[in-house]
Amino acid sequence: MNRWLFMVLVLITTSLMGSSFAIGKVGLAYVSPLLLVGLRFTLAGVLMAMFVTRRKNPTNLRDWSKVALIGLFQTAGVMGCIFISLRTITASESSILTFTNPLLVIIFGTLFMKVRYRFVQWIGVLTGFFGVFITLGFHVHLRFGTWLGILGAVSWALATLLIKRWGVGLDTWVLTAYQMLFGGLLLLIGSFTVERAHIVLNGTSVFVIVWLAIMASIVQFAIWFYLLHHGDPGKTSAFLFLAPFFGVLSGWLILGEVVRWPVMIGGLLIFVGIFLVNWPEPKLKVRKELRDV
């Protein structure tokens, strides 16, 4: 792939990831949190499902259960926590906390899947968590929204491990479409059972819902999977550190949020930590391992 095209696509997809926090917070002025995110992913899931009907869909209850469980963690868990957290913390803080998930993947992978990680990745974990500590203002008096931001990162990390474990046997686009649909429906059910669901229909609320469903979900996923397919997954994943940067930037530009120095320094350390966690293996070592096999 052309280097300039690669960089343009990376900037588009990560900016869509990061800016969805600020745009979502705009929508919360008109729509209750779970209803907003439920509408977003149900709409996105339905639209994507229309385009994957001819691909290899799950054929048994076991595979459908896997897709539903991934949707529970990846869409319902992550997005539900993010959008509720936006009621009590800034879009900048929520985006930084949510994108610590690669750091948690290392820890959970070691504990539950016995995966062995390299020294540089563990350095990344320690650097990232120190960054979280600084971002929270050097204290542990956490607000409800902060806990939700952390819980969202935990849910994302669990979904990542499930996708790594089960994703090989599932079509990527089919999995993406139906996990969004399942997660979106769960969020809608949650909206009408655990919150006072409300929506004010006007130009702004409709724009936010459509933007989040199409641009921040379908287009974002399409570009991201295209980059993973046409480039080295390890190197490509390292660019995820740009997403929380765009989260902070969009919070400042769209919402006028004040970015204090602990957030900037802590965010920088988290970016470095995520970059180290995603640092690809040396080519010589990979080739040696392939020869040994």
Lowest mean pLDDT among 50-54, 193-197, 228-232: 228-232
For residue 199, what are the β-bridge partners? 31
The region of weakest confidence among 61-65, 124-128, 132-136, 181-185 is 132-136
| Averaged pLDDT score across all residues of the chain | 84
CB 274 within 8 A of CB 240: yes
Predicted local distance difference test score (pLDDT) of residue 237? 65
Q: Tell whether the model's pLDDT for residue 278 goes beyond 80.
A: no
In this prediction, residue 292 carries a pLDDT of 47
Is residue 213 over pLDDT 60?
A: yes
**Region 262-273 average pLDDT:** 80
Confidence tier at 179 by pLDDT (50, 70, 90): very high
pLDDT tens digits along 131-141 = 777 766 655 45
- Global pTM exceeds 0.85: no
pLDDT, residue 24, reads: 92
* pLDDT of 61 over the 90 cut: yes
CA distances from 204 to 207, 216, 283 (A): 5, 16, 49
Q: What local confidence, expressed as pLDDT, does residue 133 receive?
A: 73
Least reliable range by pLDDT among 40-54, 178-192, 215-229: 215-229
Averaged pLDDT for residues 163-176: 83
C-alpha 110/C-alpha 122 separation (Å) is 11
Lowest mean pLDDT among 77-91, 172-186, 225-239, 261-275: 225-239
Is 281 within 8 Å of 106 (Cβ atoms)? no
129, pLDDT greater than 50: yes
pLDDT at position 185 over 80: yes
Q: Could you tell me the two tokens for 283? A: 């080519």
What band does 269 get if pLDDT is binned at 50, 70 and 90?
A: confident
In this prediction, residue 127 has a pLDDT band, given cuts at 50, 70 and 90, of confident
Task: Please give the pLDDT value at position 2.
Answer: 78
Q: Residue 29 to residues 24, 131, 202: CA-CA distances in angstroms?
A: 9, 30, 11
**Residue 259 exposure: Cα atoms within 13 Å on the Cβ side:** 24
Q: What is the average pLDDT across 58-83?
A: 92
Is residue 216 very low, low, confident or very high in pLDDT (cuts 50, 70, 90)?
very high
Return the higher-pLDDT residue of 186 and 161.
186
Q: Which pLDDT score is estimated for 136?
A: 63
Q: Select, from the ranges 27-36, 127-136, 223-232, the one with the highest average predicted confidence (pLDDT).
A: 27-36
- Is the model's pLDDT at 245 over the cut of 60? yes
Q: Buried b / exposed e across 3-42, counting CB within 10 Å, b at 16+? A: eeebeebbebbbbbbbbbbbbbbbbbebbbbbbbbbbbbb
pLDDT at 290: 38
CA distance 73 to 11: 26
